[in-house]
């Protein structure tokens, strides 16, 4: 390989810390555990010496791993060679690259480095589908440009120490008001449950006695209250107050989490690439090739439907496949700005609202039946075996409403390059799919569909989970033939 280079040396420190932490329990057992009543291993000096030797071996191994991992950039591919005991070589053609990710966590900022990740989205070969490099900020930026613009590779490699490329001025940026809206309209009611659950799992073993005392105190308090003599209005008031406190706690967590995650969010289009940048504690920068984007999803939860707000996501293999990562295009935007952002960032996915074909009115009973029939059967069953099971009938209107919303939201339109499917009820989604990204289409219908001249339509596209199905229910039979010929 020509122009051989290595990761930044700080990766050695990171590897030593990570490997030592993973080996912490065995090392602590070796240092403080009982290893028999007699023998030289029980001598403190011997134990400390063994642990120090193990840590030294970890340090030598991580240094050797850093030294053995080398890479170079060719005219059309990245070449990587790594491995201490088993050497592995890999060639990643630029044409196969789906996503380029530049990120900076706190450690990167301290040492003025960036982590560059190149993802081909080839899940069948596991980690071999990715190249992860830790480089100086300037080097990582120019290396990224070498991959995005391969014709300039030789010049870029020769001038890695020169000034970085200028940043374009035009971009879409999330404001502080938007950050507040993200926190207030996300699924924040579940944030408290997730936080308390993770906190309990983390501290359960360390503070078991403390939790026991708190639980005992709460049990005594609950037992002390005379619930039978308390007026129903007081019980309802207490329940409402507890719910309000929990809701405020959850919304606070959601606001803080949204601010940290999406702080400084920007999205811009540069030629044939889309650049997305965000994050306060860990800054992430994604470079997506437009031709690799298979679909755009516009999503609205119930709150965002109420206030006319939307979140935009993209389907690009390799983007959004890490833990805690989402395939985000833009986190929040008002309905009136949808056409603007699509025409500016992804004009390939623009569609005309007046060409949308909605499901026929005769399909409404089918939507209501499919959403409420099973809950109705369960409620009847529960009411027969439990004294207060009949209370379940009070939640039945919720399922009827869900069917009505899905009917109202369901629609479809298409042309020679783009397929638009509007679907789902409470979590309304508009799926904009490139026709050349469709792997297969299918239709299905049962006896009741055929009686009403209706059918269900499904589209399969390539995604991070090997194939994603997008389905719309109860379309008119007159659309069937043309929709099945899209592929």
CB 301 within 8 A of CB 426: yes
CB 171 within 8 A of CB 268: yes
What is the tens place of the pLDDT at every residue in 275-322? 999 999 888 888 888 888 889 999 998 888 888 999 999 988 777 766
Average pLDDT across the chain, whole number: 81
On the 0-12 / 13-18 / 19+ scale of CB atoms within 10 A, 395 is exposed
d(CA 470, CA 431): 8
What is the tens place of the pLDDT at every residue in 44-69? 778 888 888 999 999 999 999 999 99
Lowest mean pLDDT among 178-182, 208-212, 460-464: 208-212
In sequence order, the 6+-apart residues with CB closer than 8 A to the CB of 230 are: none
Lowest mean pLDDT among 175-179, 241-245, 397-401: 241-245
The pLDDT of 120-130, averaged and rounded, is: 56
Per-residue model confidence (pLDDT) at position 311: 94
Q: Confidence class of residue 369 from pLDDT cuts 50, 70 and 90?
A: very high
Radius of gyration of the chain from its Cα atoms, rounded to whole angstroms: 28
- Whether residue 199 is predicted with pLDDT greater than 70 in this model: the reply is no
What is the tens place of the pLDDT at every residue in 413-426? 999 899 999 999 88
Lowest mean pLDDT among 72-76, 157-161, 230-234: 157-161
CA-based nearest residue to 413, from 466, 463, 326, 349: 349
The DSSP-derived string for 353-395 is GGG-EEPPGGGHHHHHHHHHHHHHHHHHHHHHHSTTGGGGGGG
d(CA 34, CA 36): 6
d(CA 114, CA 141): 9
On the 0-12 / 13-18 / 19+ scale of CB atoms within 10 A, 117 is middle
- Whether residue 201 is predicted with pLDDT greater than 50 in this model: the reply is no
CA-based nearest residue to 364, from 337, 403, 321, 412: 403
Q: Confidence class of residue 156 from pLDDT cuts 50, 70 and 90?
A: very low
- Whether residue 154 is predicted with pLDDT greater than 50 in this model: the reply is no
The pLDDT of 400-410, averaged and rounded, is: 94
Per-residue model confidence (pLDDT) at position 155: 43
CA distances from 30 to 91, 227, 261 (A): 42, 54, 40
Q: Confidence class of residue 217 from pLDDT cuts 50, 70 and 90?
A: low
Pick the CATH number of 5-158 from 1.10.3470, 2.30.29, 3.30.1380, 2.40.50: 2.30.29
d(CA 455, CA 478): 10
Q: CB neighbours (10 Å) of residue 353?
A: 10
- Whether residue 205 is predicted with pLDDT greater than 60 in this model: the reply is no
Answer with the residue of higher pLDDT: 190 or 74: 74
Helix (H) or strand (E) holding 201: helix 191-203
d(CA 119, CA 34): 47
Could you say which DSSP state residue 187 is in? S
- Whether residue 480 is predicted with pLDDT greater than 90 in this model: the reply is yes
Q: What percent of the chain has pLDDT over 70?
A: 79
Q: Decide: helix, strand or coil at residue 119.
A: strand
Per-residue model confidence (pLDDT) at position 227: 52
187's tokens:
């699924």
Per-residue model confidence (pLDDT) at position 273: 87
Phi/psi for 18 (5° steps) reads -65, -50
CB 134 within 8 A of CB 115: yes
CB 140 within 8 A of CB 101: no
Q: Confidence class of residue 230 from pLDDT cuts 50, 70 and 90?
A: low
In sequence order, the 6+-apart residues with CB closer than 8 A to the CB of 366 are: 448, 449, 452, 454, 473, 474
In sequence order, the 6+-apart residues with CB closer than 8 A to the CB of 1 are: 70, 71, 72, 79, 81
């Amino acid at each position: 390989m020509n122009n051989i280079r290595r990761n930044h040396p700080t990766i050695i420190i990171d590897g030593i810390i990570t490997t030592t932490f993973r080996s912490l329990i065995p090392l602590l057992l070796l240092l403080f555990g009982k290893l028999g009543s007699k023998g030289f291993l029980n001598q403190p000096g011997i134990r400390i010496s063994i642990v120090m030797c193990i840590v030294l071996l970890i340090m030598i191994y991580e240094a050797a791993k850093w030294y053995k991992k080398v890479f170079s950039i060719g005219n059309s591919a990245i070449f990587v060679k790594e491995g201490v005991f088993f050497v592995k070589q890999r060639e990643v053609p630029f044409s196969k690259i789906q996503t380029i990710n530049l990120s900076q966590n706190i450690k990167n900022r301290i040492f003025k480095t960036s982590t560059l990740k190149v993802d081909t989205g080839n899940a069948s070969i596991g980690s071999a589908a990715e190249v992860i490099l830790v480089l100086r900020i300037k080097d990582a930026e120019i290396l990224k440009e070498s991959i995005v613009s391969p014709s300039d590779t030789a010049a870029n490699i020769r001038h890695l120490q020169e000034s970085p490329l200028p940043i374009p001025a035009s971009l879409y940026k999330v404001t502080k008001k938007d950050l507040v809206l993200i926190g207030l309209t996300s699924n924040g009611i579940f944030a408290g449950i997730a936080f308390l659950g993770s906190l309990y799992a983390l501290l359960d073993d360390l503070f078991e006695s403390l939790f026991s005392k708190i639980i005992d105190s709460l049990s005594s308090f609950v037992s002390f209250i005379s619930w039978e003599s308390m007026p129903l209005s007081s019980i309802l008031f207490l329940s409402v107050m507890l719910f309000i406190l929990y809701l405020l706690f959850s919304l606070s967590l959601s606001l803080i989490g949204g601010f940290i995650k999406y702080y400084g969010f920007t999205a811009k289009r540069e030629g044939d690439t889309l650049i997305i940048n965000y994050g306060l504690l860990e800054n992430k920068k994604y470079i997506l090739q437009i031709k690799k984007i298979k679909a755009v999803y516009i999503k609205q939860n119930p709150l965002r439907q109420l206030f006319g707000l939307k979140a935009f996501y993209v389907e690009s293999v390799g983007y959004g496949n890490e833990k805690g990562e989402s395939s985000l295009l833009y986190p929040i935007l008002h309905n009136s700005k949808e056409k603007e952002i699509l025409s500016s960032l992804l004009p390939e996915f623009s569609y005309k609202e007046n060409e949308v074909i909605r499901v026929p009115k005769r399909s409404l009973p089918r939507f209501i039946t499919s959403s409420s029939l099973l809950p109705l059967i369960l409620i009847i069953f529960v009411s027969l075996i439990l004294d207060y099971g009949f209370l379940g009938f009070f939640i039945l209107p919720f399922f009827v409403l869900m069917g009505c919303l899905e009917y109202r939201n369901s629609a479809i339109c298409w042309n020679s390059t783009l397929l638009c499917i509007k679907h789902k009820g409470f979590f309304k989604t508009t799926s904009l799919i490139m026709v050349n990204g469709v792997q297969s289409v299918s239709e299905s219908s049962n006896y009741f569909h055929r009686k009403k001249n209706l059918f269900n339509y499904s589209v399969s596209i390539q995604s991070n989970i090997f194939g994603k199905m997008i389905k719309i229910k109860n379309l008119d039979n007159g659309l069937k033939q043309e929709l099945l010929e899209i592929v």
